[in-house]
Amino acid sequence: MSPLRHCLRSLHKCCRLDWCSGGRVSMTQQCIHVKARCPVYPRTENTENPIKRFEVPDDKVPWKVAFPKYDPPVYTAPSVAKQPVWADVDVLNKDNKNKTPKWNSLDGKINRKSHEGRYEINSCGCPKNPHGRTGLKGRGLLGRWGPNHAADPIVTRWKRDESGKVVEKDGKKVAQFIAVQRRDNNEWALPGGMVDAGEVITTTIRREFGEEALNTLQATPEEIKQIEQHTNELFAKGTEIYRGYVDDPRNTDNAWMETCAMNFHDQQGDSVAKFKFCAGDDAVGVQWLDLDGSLQLYASHVNFMMETAKKLNASW
Ligand code: RP5
């Protein structure tokens, strides 16, 4: 094994420990992205033109490591290129020279600041992924160049048996969280979503949880009132679990996902623990899942769950 590879392996190991032992994880501590280098770009797999990423070996992910052969394709999904309200102009198009977004700042209502500090702009005038090469240029399915901000609610309760007693494993209480099955790829995930321009994170969290896990888009006004009564208390106080880059398969060299994940714990099991959940909007399934080291979740959500288990002193 080359010394660099060995070093990256050790870094990876030490990052896993950091996820277990620390609070907020800094950019340098975080593991190198893996899902952001998936060989075929999401939602192009079964099309006539699958978009294949340029292969980036682990040791070539950091920009500072020379990779002269690096020649990734450019891809921006047609839905993004059409420029709906949630997408930016094509900064690579010379006609848009005067419309360059205000990088690294609040650009009108659009937050172009990264949770991880200043990002660089490359010689073509595009933001550079702070976590390194992904094998693809352009924006892919992401609307914004640079950071695309999301928020993730981690709603938890203690697992109980039929008698109501909290279940334990290896001497620790078992916690459960609400997971949704994503419509785009069937993977289980946190019921998160994109932060709308000008929106505060807590509003996104409540909205997305309602739409994806409680199907509020289909609810009657009376049902919505009831849901709000129950969720107001729960969402009044949350604990921040993570804020930063997400290893999302949609990321590119010039556009990436970032999130703020917050935990809302129903300690007594008498509030959200008793809700009737129903998948809606971008979700096709919803269920309580045990917090457990064998979980497989979308993007880097499993890391957030590991941190949540630690914060709750729950079994993992
Ligand atoms: C992930 O994508 C975030 O952590 C969040 O869960 C999700 C937001 O994107 P959509 O679910 O709106 O596609 O990176």
CB of 248 within 6 A of ligand 1: the answer is: yes
Q: How far is the CA of 216 from the centre of ligand 1 (A)?
A: 18
The best mutation among 80, 259, 307 to test binding of ligand 1, ranked by most ligand atoms within 8 Å of the C-beta, falls on: 259
Specify the ligand 1 atom closest to the Cα of 257. Answer: 14
Q: Is 205 in the pocket of ligand 1 (CB under 6 A)?
A: no
> Which amino acid belongs to residue 284?
V
Strand, helix or coil for residue 60: helix
The residue nearest atom 9 of ligand 1, judged by CA position, is: 193
Q: What does the pLDDT read at residue 236? A: 86
Task: Say yes or no to pLDDT of 27 above 80.
Answer: no
Which atom of ligand 1 approaches the CA of 261 most closely?
4
Kindly state if the Cβ of 212 falls inside 6 Å of ligand 1: no
Average pLDDT on 50-77 reads 97
Report how far ligand 1's centroid is from the alpha carbon of 127 (Å): 20
Residue located nearest, by CA, to atom 5 of ligand 1: 192
Its pTM stands at 0.89
Least confident of 135-144, 167-176, 275-284: 275-284
Atom 8 in ligand 1: residue holding the nearest Cα: 193
Predicted local confidence at residue 22, as pLDDT: 36
Closest residue by CA, ligand 1 atom 13 = 193
Residue 10 pLDDT exceeds 50: no
Q: How far is the CA of 273 from the centre of ligand 1 (A)?
A: 23
Lookup: tokens for 48: 């006539």
User: What is the average pLDDT value for the chain, to the nearest integer?
Assistant: 88
233: confidence class by pLDDT, cuts 50, 70, 90 = confident
**Cα within 13 Å of Cα(211), Cβ side:** 16
Per-residue pLDDT tens digits for 179-203 = 999 988 999 999 999 999 999 999 9
CB 93 within 8 A of CB 74: no
192 lines ligand 1 (CB under 6 A): yes
Matching CATH number, 3-312, of 3.90.79.10, 3.30.70.120, 3.30.1050.10, 3.40.50.1950: 3.90.79.10
Between 105 and 215, whose confidence is greater? Answer: 105
Can you tell me the mean pLDDT for 290-309?
Answer: 97
Q: Which of 11-15, 139-143, 156-160, 235-239 has the lowest mean pLDDT?
A: 11-15
In a mutational test of the pocket of ligand 1, which residue from 86, 185, 186, 194 has the highest number of ligand atoms less than 8 Å from its CB?
194
The whole-angstrom separation of Cα 290 and Cα 315 is 9
Residue for token pair 């949630």: 86
* Per-residue pLDDT reduced to its tens digit, 107-159: 999 999 999 999 999 999 999 999 999 999 999 999 999 999 999 999 999 99
What b/e string do you get for 97-121 counting C-beta neighbours within 10 Å, with b at 16 or more? eeeebebbeebeebbbbbbbeebeb
Atom of ligand 1 nearest to the CA of 191: 6
Task: List CB contacts of 211: < 8 A, sequence separation 6 or more.
Answer: 193, 217, 280, 281, 282
pLDDT on residue 12: 38
Of all residues in the chain, the percent with pLDDT exceeding 90 is 69
Between the CA of 257 and the centroid of ligand 1 the distance, in Å, is 8
Task: State residue 66's pLDDT score.
Answer: 97
What local confidence, expressed as pLDDT, does residue 30 receive?
A: 56
- Tokens 């490591």 locate to 65
pLDDT at 293: 94
Q: Counting every residue, how long is the chain?
A: 316
Pocket test for ligand 1, best of 257, 262, 297 (most atoms within 8 A of CB): 257
Task: Write the pLDDT tens digit of every residue in 243-259.
Answer: 999 999 999 999 999 99
Q: What's the mean pLDDT in 11-21? A: 36
